[in-house]
Amino acid sequence: MTSSNQSAPRLWPANHLQPNRSAGHTLIELLVAFSFLVIGAFAFLRVMVSASNASNVNFEVALAKEGARSQIEWMMSLDYKEAFARFNSSAADDPPAPLVSPGANFAVQGLDPVPGDADGFVGEIIFPNLPAAATQIREDLVNTSLGSPMDLNGDQVIDSADHLADCLAIPVLVRITWQGRSGRCVSQFKTILGAMQ
């Protein structure tokens, strides 16, 4: 006699003895995810370095602007012909002591001159004159940065005479050239001293 309480043998699916193939995919997926994470970290680091460099360049430009602004304000606080005499590249027309005549070149704190710079200063003040005639104001000098040639005495004629005595205004360019983190940098600022301000 057979007992009816006996249960039939339990059958397992045929694949229960095969290895789990999805376990290998987890390791590959983990490696791919880690690769993306590393690439993302490098991209983020690169952005941070670029932002830091841009911040340094912006700081240098701000120093250059401040240096130029202080020189321009100093010149504008003087009579324009006195400013020319005190800030041109010649000491021959400087006013007597105790007046300070800084000349055409100046330093800007925080900025380094370009290697090999002849005078060792980052700042330069440029007037419409020739180096050989630094005490003269010329209308015929071609300098697009200064906007010249330019009629400076109002007679509607541009000539090669010295117009220091009869000029109504003097254009001036303040140029800052420095060795920055990104290489050689230049900022220029132009204004007009005198009656045409």
Q: pLDDT tens digit string along 137-184?
A: 999 999 988 888 999 998 999 999 999 999 999 999 999 999 998 889
Give domain status of residue 27, yes or no.
no
Q: Find the domain containing 101 and state its range.
A: 35-194
Q: For the chain, how long is the longest CA-to-CA vector?
A: 140
Q: Which amino acid is at 191?
A: T
Identify whether 7 is part of a domain: no
Residue ranges in the chain assigned as alpha helix (H): 22-76, 80-87
Assign 90 to helix, strand or coil.
Answer: coil
Instruction: Give pLDDT tens digits for 29-77.
Output: 888 888 888 898 888 888 887 777 777 778 899 999 999 999 999 999 9
Residue 186 lies in a domain: yes
Paired with 178 in beta bridges are 185
> For the segment 121-137, what is each residue's pLDDT rounded down to a tens digit?
999 999 998 888 889 99
Task: Determine the length of the chain.
Answer: 197
Task: Quote the number of domains for the chain.
Answer: 1
Cβ pair 85, 193 in contact under 8 A: no
**pTM here?**
0.71
